[in-house]
């Protein structure tokens, strides 16, 4: 037995079972964009771990207690008490999801032209910084660049670079530092407590506000307990408390480690900053005791936040993701090492060296995963991260051509994960026959959500292979 899920199933939902011929039609009609599929055309949905987890019986029961009063509902106070104990922050605002908290905090704190520094900004975080005319600057630690290294904390920020930036003469331009735990944009890697402490201390020394993007705070805490010397005897809850205590506040999507379908929060230490944020909250999200959520959401979140630090739950979640990563590696397909908890990041660039970045190897693998097994994933390569000109030409490829298989919480069993791994293994037996894609329609912003693509015609594929007089496989090996 590889793992035993520490729960049994009370409510079930049928999976869509389709044939390859049906999926070929469906994905073609969807413009070869997996976001355009209907969810009931997908067999195993690993698009995201956000809002896709299964509620517990206790959460459902808590939902029934939801107080839907406009102002002062008792659900808010139950939610606030759970968050206050966990974070130690006195000012707690619910919001409808994580990006709303980002928008409210950044709009209140940043002046146009200022810089936000992070280990890696998540894309909505970056967008909310940039929309204010500010710069989102990532300072990942050097180990983050090596996908094969087993360094335990590749989510860390580069503290030397952080200190250098804050001590430079134009450091006044830095409006805030935000640490993403775990580092989703950086392969789901954790941040060590030593790194959080060092970054917190540097920020305090230079008077720079220091926040957490705490979407996966419990998963980060679990990996600290497992990997960081001096933390093995602590409960994940204690580690999470210690992490929050190091910061001036947090933004968080609670669709991840709140194990709920909707919700987020902004929680702050400083009363004056909180009062300014509250104005914007009321104007754009709702009264501070509901902030865009229903009372039942708040009660389910309060219960989810209690359940998420349960060591047995986290142990099983870590084992599930690690098992999927091992099966995929066993099939000869490289993944980002070491695996975190919320996703496995598959290295499509290495599996498909014959597909050049401008034909989107990650996207080719994601589409093939759907065609071969009805599995939905998300490309995190040149289609998502690359620079693409108005006529659809890739001018700057991404650093890595990855496909993320996000694992929803408490949703799929070991046999579902085995099915996903078998699907990849079947693809990996004959990757050469796969072809790339080209853009046929590409909106100026949020490209990956709305673009349409088509397979590169067979006639054009060999042209590229021989363009330089030798094959692309040789070219990438040189
Ligand atoms: N921060 C991180 C680290 C995230 O992973 C996300 C969402 C957000 C902020 C934004 O939160 O969606 O509630 O507004 N990540 C999802 C994902 C969408 O699939 O990784 P939101």
Please give the share of the chain, as a percent, with pLDDT higher than 70.
Answer: 96
Helix 361-373 to helix 20-29 angle (10° resolution) is: 140
Whether the per-residue pLDDT at 470 is higher than 50: the answer is no
Residues 109 and 226 in one domain: yes
For residue 99, which atom of ligand 1 is closest to its CA?
14
Residues 107 and 237 in one domain: yes
Closest-CA residue, ligand 1 atom 16, reads: 50
Domain count, the chain: 2
CA 462 to each of CA 191, 355, 356: distance values in angstroms, whole numbers, following the listed order: 44, 11, 12
- H or E element: which one contains 378? strand 378-380
Confirm whether 419 is domain-assigned: yes
Domain boundary among 240, 274, 307: 307
Confirm whether 1 is domain-assigned: no
Residues 266 and 342 in one domain: no
Q: Alpha-carbon distance 126 to 16, whole Å?
A: 35
Q: Kindly give the distance from the C-alpha atom of residue 122 to the centroid of ligand 1, in angstroms, as a whole number.
A: 7
Q: Kindly give the distance from the C-alpha atom of residue 161 to the centroid of ligand 1, in angstroms, as a whole number.
A: 26
For residue 183, which atom of ligand 1 is closest to its CA?
3
Q: Which residues are annotated as catalytic? A: 70, 122-123, 213, 215, 256, 448
Q: Is 388 helix (H, G, I), strand (E, B) or coil?
A: strand
Residues 297 and 400 in one domain: no
Whether the per-residue pLDDT at 438 is higher than 50: the answer is yes
Ligand 1 neighbours by CB, cut-off 6 Å: 48, 50, 97-99, 122, 124-125, 180, 184, 213, 215, 253, 255, 264
For residue 48, which atom of ligand 1 is closest to its CA?
19
Q: Alpha-carbon distance 3 to 317, whole Å?
A: 9
117-121, 256-260, 320-324, 455-459: least confident range: 455-459
Encode pLDDT of 169-195 as tens digits: 877 799 999 999 999 876 889 999 999
Residues 229 and 317 in one domain: no
- The confidence score (pLDDT) of residue 391 equals 80
Residues 65 and 210 in one domain: yes
| Mean pLDDT, all residues of the chain | 94
- For residue 328, what is the domain's CATH number? 3.90.1150.10
- The confidence score (pLDDT) of residue 461 equals 55
DSSP 471: -
Closest-CA residue, ligand 1 atom 5, reads: 184
Residues 218 and 260 in one domain: yes
For 428, the domain range is 20-49+310-476
Q: Kindly give the distance from the C-alpha atom of residue 253 to the centroid of ligand 1, in angstroms, as a whole number.
A: 6
pTM, two decimal places: 0.94
Encode pLDDT of 413-436 as tens digits: 999 999 999 999 999 999 999 999
Confirm whether 287 is domain-assigned: yes
Domain boundary among 284, 307, 330: 307
Please give the share of the chain, as a percent, with pLDDT higher than 90.
Answer: 87
Residues 204 and 125 in one domain: yes
Q: Kindly give the distance from the C-alpha atom of residue 169 to the centroid of ligand 1, in angstroms, as a whole number.
A: 34
Helix 414-428 to helix 311-330 angle (10° resolution) is: 20
Confirm whether 7 is domain-assigned: no
Q: Alpha-carbon distance 343 to 52, whole Å?
A: 13
Encode pLDDT of 301-342 as tens digits: 999 999 999 999 999 999 999 999 999 999 999 999 998 999
Q: Kindly give the distance from the C-alpha atom of residue 81 to the centroid of ligand 1, in angstroms, as a whole number.
A: 24
Residues 252 and 361 in one domain: no
- For residue 74, what is the domain's CATH number? 3.40.640.10
């Amino acid at each position: 037995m590889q793992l035993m899920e520490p729960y049994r199933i009370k409510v079930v939902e049928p999976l869509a079972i389709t044939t390859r011929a049906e999926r070929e039609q469906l994905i073609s009609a969807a413009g070869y964009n997996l976001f355009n599929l209907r969810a009931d055309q997908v067999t195993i949905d690993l698009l995201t771990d956000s809002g896709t987890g299964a509620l517990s019986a206790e959460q459902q029961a808590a939902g029934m207690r939801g107080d839907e009063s406009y102002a002062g509902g008792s659900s808010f106070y139950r939610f606030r008490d759970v968050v206050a104990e966990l974070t130690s922050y006195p000012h707690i605002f619910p919001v409808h999801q994580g990006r709303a908290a980002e928008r409210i905090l950044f709009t209140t704190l940043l002046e146009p032209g200022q810089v936000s520094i992070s280990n890696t900004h998540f894309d909505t975080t970056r967008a909310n910084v940039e929309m204010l005319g500010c710069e989102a600057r990532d300072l990942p630690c050097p180990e983050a660049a090596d996908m094969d290294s087993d360094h335990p904390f590749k989510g860390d920020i580069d503290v030397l670079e952080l200190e250098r930036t804050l001590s430079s003469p134009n450091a006044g331009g830095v409006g805030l530092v935000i640490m993403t735990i775990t580092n989703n944009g950086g392969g789901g890697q954790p941040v060590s407590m030593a790194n959080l402490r060092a970054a917190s201390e540097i920020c305090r020394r230079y008077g720079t506000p220091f926040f957490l993007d705490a979407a996966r705070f419990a998963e980060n805490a679990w990996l600290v307990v497992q990997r960081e010397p001096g933390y093995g005897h602590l409960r994940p809850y204690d580690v999470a408390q210690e992490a929050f205590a190091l910061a001036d506040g947090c933004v968080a999507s609670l669709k991840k480690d709140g194990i709920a379908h909707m919700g987020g929060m902004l929680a702050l230490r400083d009363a004056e900053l909180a009062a300014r944020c509250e104005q914007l909250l009321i104007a754009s999200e709702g009264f501070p005791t509901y902030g865009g959520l229903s009372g039942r959401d708040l009660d389910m979140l309060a219960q989810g936040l209690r359940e998420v630090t349960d060591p047995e739950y986290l142990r099983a979640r870590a084992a599930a993701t690690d098992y999927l990563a091992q099966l995929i590696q066993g099939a000869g397909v490289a993944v980002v090492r070491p695996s975190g908890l919320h996703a496995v990041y598959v290295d499509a660039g290495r599996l498909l060296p014959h597909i050049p970045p401008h034909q989107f190897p990650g996207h080719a693998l994601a589409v093939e995963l759907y065609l071969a097994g009805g599995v939905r994933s998300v490309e995190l390569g040149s289609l998502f991260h690359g620079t693409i000109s108005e006529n659809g030409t890739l001018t700057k490829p991404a650093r890595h051509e990855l496909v993320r298989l996000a694992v929803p919480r408490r949703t799929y069993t070991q046999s579902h994960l085995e099915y996903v791994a078998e699907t990849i293994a079947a693809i990996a037996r004959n990757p050469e026959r796969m072809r790339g894609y080209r853009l046929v329609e590409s909106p100026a912003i949020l490209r990956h959500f709305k673009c349409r693509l088509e397979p590169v015609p067979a006639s054009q594929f060999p042209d590229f292979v021989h363009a330089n007089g030798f094959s692309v496989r040789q070219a990438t090996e040189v």
